[in-house]
Structure 1
Amino acid sequence: MQHFGERLRAARKIKGWSLQELVIKTSHTVSKQALSKYEAGVMMPSRKILLLLSTALEVKPTYFDSQPVFNLPEFEIPRKGDLSAKQAESIKEKVKDILERYLQAEALLNIRSKFTNPIKPIPVADEQAAADVATKLLSKWNLGGGALHNVTEMLEEKGVRVIQVSSPDNFEGLSTYVGKIPVIVLHKDRPTAIKRFAAMYELGQLLLKITTDTPKQKIPADTDRHKICEIFAAAMLLPGDALENCVGSKRMAIAPGELVCIKAQYGLPMRAIMQQAVFKGIIDRKNANTFLKLLADNPDETDLGSYIGQEEAHRFDRMIYRLVAEEIIDIEKAADLTGIPAEDLQKKVEVFEPVVQD
């Protein structure tokens, strides 16, 4: 169990627990001093304590035996809003765990996935420039001029790793690079339209070279960066004249029902649709502010419609099923990689015998 200490620390941080909180979860059977020594690798637990820790942390005992297949480069998870250092560390460990399993599946299939940024590093100084870059990216990726279906799967196929994790309620998404791998992290329990918009917003954070024309200020304030990425995200999900075709070119007011219909078709929040209408000059900000203030108290837009399309990534699952079908790994290994019980996986990977024709 050479890597026990490393695995124990990772499992604890994924839970977002301190050493003392893990002590409490074990009903004080294990002391803080003992846990510290386990994580430092200077002491090993008995079989009884190992099973106790496994139960408390909700991992299989074999989790502590496994050696990390990849030594991922060091990376940081940016803290946003009220995200605490402990919460950011928990998200980081979850990203490491999921990404390592993803890369392991690719390596077993000899897949060398590489991300290429199709956008030249043109400085983006304002919201209009961001919208123009979104149009270029849609063209480069041959995504057409209609609604984008299954954004998560599309990004996966383009080489961006989209990882969904349990997170604090005030968290929507963040992005980082792990080595040369672009990673977008989303709150898995947020409504689909919000996750799609968050994914496009974080894509903007990853790809856009945001700057200003003023020589004294090379990087805009966070508020400017935020607005630029929001316009980029909206332009990706509402391409071209899609919004004008839905609501017209000039309005004094837009009915909530109209926004619900656009949300259902294009899959972005009503708040973002209204902000895009302001940006395009379809409606004056003063006429939109009342509605935007009402939405501020309902960030998930509960009872205000939903995206009707499919939004789910299948690439990792396809790789696992292929690995089992080609007998590269067994069902137990597949269960370890996916976290799905072996008996449930077995039903999805059973190979039917071919029917021999007489």
Structure 2
Amino acid sequence: MFGQRLKLARKRAGLSMQALADHVTPSVSAQAISKYEAEKMMPSSSVLIGLSKALGVSLDFMVGGQVEALESLEWRKTSKASARDRAMAEAVVIEKLENYLAIEDILDLRPDADPFSKLRIDEILDDDEVDEKAREVRDEWKLGIDPIPSMTALLEDKGLKVIEADLPERINGMACHVKRADGPSTEVIVVARQTNVERKRFNLAHELAHRIIADVGKTNLKLEKAMNRFAGAFLIPEEHLIAEAGQNRSGMTYHEIMRLKHTYGVSAAAMMVRLGQVGILSPSAVEYAFKSYARSWRNVEPEQIGEGEGFAAFETPQRFERLVWRALGEELISPVRAAQMLNVPLSIIERDIRGPRDH
């Protein structure tokens, strides 16, 4: 496992073995690094610290024992994302997962039963079945038809680990199975901190679809398009949208579309697509929109939901932080360890332990 971590961290840094050897103190040869990565030799503690500093990663990342491998990776990225970008993202995720899984072990938390077992299907055949499955999931989870305040909180409540991280700008997120060195595997969904909340919510709903719908049948339906259709139907239920916007509209103003996107916390482009899917706007009206006034909406979000406003105030993972504070409150970890896990100054942790003091 150490060899895999070292190789990943080296790729993340964009260094050859020789370049890494030149940066390490105390001195180490490229041949030794090759043996470390091949698991043929382990470094001394001083070299291990030197490697960690040279690569800009923590010792927990280098020698952590929780995460054995990230499997079945699904990337949300642009076509320009490089191998180094992916290595950087994997390293960030592994480091965060080491802490996440460690705090669960400290609190002796066991994974819940599969929340998707009753809902999962092997294949779906057409758009109507996709919409029906989205309705079924909402019904099973008793969500009603109102907009969902937080997709992050919903998925965390259902046992998925959601991590928000500073990822390379060409990567919007990823999802994978986490193979653990000791313990049952788990799943994680990662969203890039820099991604706008509209896209975050849609990506999370898209990942939910992947955990419920295994594949599409032998039809013209494409899997990723079906996942997007599910995400739109899940976030914007047909009944609620018709009540908000009316039926069989001949047209719609920019003001109305912006109001609807803020009502459901989705992008303007996703809103336009959904208006067409439920028949509020005709296919020709939607096509015209994307050829004219909505042409730029797939790349530049109009009237973006601001940080801390509306849905943006709720779409932040909270479970890991809650677990750290719980362990701290039960004196299962030290303030120093809590500060390291939460990546905040120790002074902040100590202040929040004490609470306000009268002067």
Quote the residue 1:239 is aligned against.
237
Quote the residue 2:334 is aligned against.
330
SS of residue matched to 1:175:
strand
**Structure 2: distance between partners of 1:46 and 1:328:** 27
Quote the residue 1:104 is aligned against.
102
Structure 2 residue 75 is the aligned partner of structure 1 residue 76: no
Q: Displacement of 1:135 after TM fit?
A: 0.8
Q: TM-score, normalised by structure 1?
A: 0.81
Quote the residue 1:155 is aligned against.
155
Matches within 5 A, 1:207-356: 207-212=212-217, 217=218, 224-293=222-291, 295=294, 297-299=296-298, 301-306=300-305, 308-309=310-311, 310-350=314-354
Can you give the 5+ residue segments of structure 2 that lack an aligned partner in the other structure? 180-184
SS of residue matched to 2:223:
helix
**Structure 2: distance between partners of 1:326 and 1:131:** 45
Aligned-pair identity (%): 26
Amino acid at match of 1:320: V
- 1:94-153: per-residue Cα shift (whole Å, max 9, x none)? 333322321211111111122321404263112221111111111111222211012112
**Structure 2: distance between partners of 1:337 and 1:123:** 40
Q: Is the 8 A contact 2:70 2:177 kept in 1?
A: no
Q: Is the 8 A contact 1:109 1:323 kept in 2?
A: yes
Matches within 5 A, 1:45-64: 47=46, 53-60=51-58, 62-63=59-60
Structure 2 vs 1, CA of residues 270 and 71 (structure 1 numbering), >3 Å: closer, same or farther? closer
Structure 2 vs 1, CA of residues 25 and 298 (structure 1 numbering), >3 Å: closer, same or farther? farther
**Structure 1: distance between partners of 2:45 and 2:326:** 38
Quote the residue 1:191 is aligned against.
196
Structure 2 vs 1, CA of residues 95 and 59 (structure 1 numbering), >3 Å: closer, same or farther? closer
Can you give the 5+ residue segments of structure 1 that lack an aligned partner in the other structure? 354-358
For these two proteins, the number of residue pairs brought into alignment is 340
Q: Is the 8 A contact 1:173 1:185 kept in 2?
A: yes
- 1:190-231: per-residue Cα shift (whole Å, max 9, x none)? 10111001110111122113322xxxx3xx67x721221111
Structure 2 vs 1, CA of residues 4 and 135 (structure 1 numbering), >3 Å: closer, same or farther? closer
RMSD between aligned residues = 3.3
Query: After alignment, is 139-148 or 25-34 more displaced?
Result: 25-34
SS of residue matched to 1:345:
helix
Q: Displacement of 1:316 after TM fit?
A: 0.6
**Structure 1: distance between partners of 2:33 and 2:239:** 59
SS of residue matched to 2:72:
coil
SS of residue matched to 2:339:
helix
Q: Is the 8 A contact 1:16 1:87 kept in 2?
A: no
**Structure 2: distance between partners of 1:235 and 1:135:** 8
Amino acid at match of 1:196: R
SS of residue matched to 2:255:
helix
Structure 2 vs 1, CA of residues 127 and 348 (structure 1 numbering), >3 Å: closer, same or farther? farther
Amino acid at match of 2:231: A
